[in-house]
Amino acid sequence: MKINYNNVNIFLIESFLEMKEAYNNNVEEYVDLPYALYESEFVPFIMNKLREGNKSELSKIFNFIEKLFIDGDEMVINLAGVAIVESIFFESEYEKYKTEIFSLCGEITKKSFENCS
């Protein structure tokens, strides 16, 4: 299934039901601006899962990110690289979790992180 920019928010909230409330609380902001949803809601969600050490959820998250790179249109690929990968890369705790992140990443996601430095 090709993921396009118009359905990338729906793809997120269907994949992670925890994101549905955050999306619905600010739907006016997020409906036309997936970058805002992914940066302000999904990245903190990812960082919390890293802090919790929730391996199964983290595996699901990084598989989801890889799927965005593989099945996304050009805008979705850019969203994954900028709103997710770069946002995580610039998080203050990135270095602390870098090894774990790299162990969970697919090849394309890993390359995206490597391109940040």
Residues with Cβ within 8 Å of residue 104, at least 6 apart in sequence: 58, 59, 61, 62
Does residue 38 lie in a domain region? yes
Per-residue pLDDT at 117 exceeds 90: no
Does residue 104 lie in a domain region? yes
pLDDT for position 2 = 86
Does residue 44 lie in a domain region? yes
Does residue 36 lie in a domain region? yes
Does residue 42 lie in a domain region? yes
Task: Name the domain count of the chain.
Answer: 1
Q: What range does the domain containing 76 cover?
A: 8-116
pTM assigned to the model: 0.95
Closest CA to 5 of 35, 45, 43, 41: 35
Mean model confidence pLDDT for the chain: 96
Does residue 91 lie in a domain region? yes
Per-residue pLDDT at 90 exceeds 90: yes
Band the pLDDT of 91: cuts 50, 70, 90.
very high
Q: What percent of the chain has pLDDT over 70?
A: 99
Q: What gap in Å lies between CA 51 and CA 29, rounded to an integer?
A: 28
Question: Residues 11-62: pLDDT tens digits?
Answer: 999 999 999 999 999 999 999 999 999 999 999 999 999 999 999 999 999 9
Does residue 48 lie in a domain region? yes
Does residue 3 lie in a domain region? no
> Which residue(s) pair with 72 in the sheet?
3
